[in-house]
Chains A and B, each alone.
Chain A
Amino acid sequence: GENVEQHPSTLSVQEGDSAVIKCTYSDSASNYFPWYKQELGKRPQLIIDIRSNVGEKKDQRIAVTLNKTAKHFSLHITETQPEDSAVYFCAASKGASGTYKYIFGTGTRLKVLA
């Protein structure tokens, strides 16, 4: 079935350094890839997304890249700050052909050390 793998499961970086989280999806029909940030006991919040017709998207310190051929997409956070500490989830969706459901990755616990 559809599967999204996410690595690493935990990531510690020094404040100001960059963090990169990688995801691989199995279904080549996936065409929408959101990234969510979840703080403990809270709802996931969308931080950035990318569609399959785009290779890269940036929003201030956050960027996402997509390699459709390899079925990889990655989240890049630059100049990390302690408030970036949270769990990050990637997801893949096939849009209408998949009833818009998301398949989530296993999550990455990011710790930014002050």
Chain B
Amino acid sequence: GAVVSQHPSWVICKSGTSVKIECRSLDFQATTMFWYRQFPKQSLMLMATSNEGSKATYEQGVEKDKFLINHASLTLSTLTVTSAHPEDSSFYICSARTGGDGYTFGSGTRLTVV
């Protein structure tokens, strides 16, 4: 089946630095990828929708300059958390549309900013 590989699975970074998270579709072309953030014991909150070759569409309240999304190819989308702060610590997870209404999720990245 369709697989999305997400890296890294966890990262610890210092406050003020930037972190890049990658999601790759391994056996299909992902024209649309979604990025979610999930705080402990909470739901998945959609941050942005990215379409290959075009600018990402951000949800209300999500800072586009802080969470940079790039979807330059049909198999790779990246999320860069710029100038990370402790409040950005969270579980970030991508999902790719596999056709029709179906999604497949990446394995998630636990970001801890110290």
* Chain A interface (Cβ < 8 Å from any Cβ of B): 1, 32, 34, 41-46, 49, 51, 89, 93, 95, 99-107, 109
Indicate whether A101 sits within 8 Å of B43 (C-beta atoms), given known contacts A32-B101, A93-B101: no
Select from chain A the residue with minimum beta-carbon distance to B48.
A101
Q: Are B93 and A43 in contact (CB under 8 A)?
A: yes
B26 on interface, CB distance cutoff 8 Å: no
Question: With A41-B108, A41-B110, A42-B108 in contact, is A105–B43 under 8 Å at CB?
Answer: yes
A42 to B108 alpha-carbon distance, docked (Å): 7
24 A/B residue pairs, CB under 8 Å, sorted by A? A1-B60, A32-B101, A34-B101, A34-B103, A41-B110, A43-B93, A43-B105, A43-B106, A44-B105, A49-B101, A89-B43, A99-B49, A99-B57, A100-B32, A100-B97, A100-B101, A101-B49, A102-B34, A104-B44, A104-B45, A104-B46, A106-B43, A107-B41, A107-B43
Report the Cα distance A70→B34, complex, angstroms: 29
Whole-angstrom distance between the Cβ of A42 and the nearest chain B Cβ: 7
A43 to B91, CA, bound (A): 10
Dominant SS among interface residues on chain B: strand
| 0/1 string, B79-114, CB within 8 A of A gives 1 | 000000000000101000100011101111010000
Closest A residue to B36 by CB, please name it: A104
A105 to B106 alpha-carbon distance, docked (Å): 19
A-B pair count, CB < 8 Å, reads: 50
Residues 19-43 of chain B, each 1 if its beta carbon lies under 8 Å from chain A, else 0: 0000000000000101000000111
10 closest A-B pairs (Cβ-Cβ)? A43-B105, A32-B101, A104-B44, A106-B43, A104-B43, A43-B107, A107-B43, A44-B105, A100-B97, A43-B108
Whole-angstrom distance between the alpha carbons of A102 and B34 in the complex?
9
Contact A101 B101 (CB under 8 A): no
Q: Are A107 and B42 in contact (CB under 8 A)?
A: yes
Name the residue of chain A whose CB is nearest to the CB of B99.
Answer: A100
**Chain A residue with minimal CB distance to B57?**
A99
Q: Which residues of B contact A107 (CB under 8 A)?
A: 41-43
Contacts of B106 in A (CB 8 A): 43
Bound complex: CA of A31 vs CA of B34, how far in Å?
19
